[in-house]
Amino acid sequence: MHWVLLANGHCQLAPRIQNLLSTADRLVAVDGGGSHLLAMGLTPHLAVGDMDSIPSELLELYRRQGVPLHLHPPQKDATDLELALHLAFAGQATRITLLGATGGRLDHTLGNLFLLSLCQAHSVPTCIMDAAQSVYLADSFLELQGTVGDTLSLMPVTPQAAGVTLSGLEYPLQNATLHFGTTWGMSNVFTSSTATVRLETGRLLVFHLHRD
């Protein structure tokens, strides 16, 4: 079951994102992210948020439409998106896509990227997607479908990522070690429609920047 969570960062309606929204099994409005859905004429299956950050008219609309609401006070120990992810795990999500998770406050964006590790701990493949890119957290194997010329950047979020082997890319690493805080893995280029990332230890944030 594919859950799509819409947070309140930027959300530009690229065709890739429209396709995704039309095939979601569960569509979740996270906090102000519901406004993006409203602009597209979509009603979420459920809404999650602070009592003070969901726009009141949207909250009223959701109540009228009978959308299940998961409201909680602003003074809490996790962000709305983290709480929404826990609902997805409990709801048998087998795949999660996060939209509107980038482009706002930088600390929020980074917090959202790091939440991918929570999804990994729950064994649910998760992607953060915006109009420009798809971001994944890899700890073993990842296969990406793209276009020749797409950009791929790898960034360890562990002290190192070892046994890194890449295929389908201009700089095909073989059993390499990437260290946290160096920029060696930045801006590789797709030379095929399929690229693969394999690693033995550590974790890599993988940025796939789409040309189209």
Which three-class secondary structure state does DSSP give residue 12?
coil
> φ and ψ at 75, to 5 degrees?
-80, 90
Least CB distance to its own copies at residue 56 (A): 21
Helices (H) and strands (E) in the chain — how many of each?
A: 6, 14
Tell me: does residue 132 bind its own copies (CB under 8 A).
yes
Among residues 76, 81, 80, 59, the alpha carbon closest in space to that of 68 is found at 59
Q: Which is nearer to its own copies, 55 or 111 (CB)?
A: 111
Which residue do the tokens 């189209």 mark? 212
Using CB under 8 A, which of 133, 161, 169, 197 touches its own copies?
133
Distance between CA atoms of residues 161 and 177, nearest Å: 6
DSSP codes of every residue in 139-174: SSEEEEE--TT-EEEEEESSSEEEEEEEESBSS---
Least CB distance to its own copies at residue 78 (A): 5
Binding mask 75-114 for its own copies (x = CB under 8 A): --xxx-xx-------------------x--xxxxxxx-xx
Q: Which is nearer to its own copies, 107 or 212 (CB)?
A: 107
Residues in 148-177 that interact with its own copies by CB under 8 A: 151, 153, 155, 157-159
Stretch that binds its own copies, among 15-23, 27-35, 64-72, 178-186 (CB under 8 A): 178-186
Roughly how many angstroms between the first and final C-alpha of the chain, as a whole number? 27
Stretch that binds its own copies, among 40-48, 72-80, 91-99, 161-169 (CB under 8 A): 72-80
Distance between CA atoms of residues 14 and 31, nearest Å: 22
Binding interface with its own copies (CB under 8 A): 77-79, 81-82, 102, 105-111, 113-118, 121, 132-133, 135, 151, 153, 155, 157-159, 180-184, 186-187, 205, 207, 209
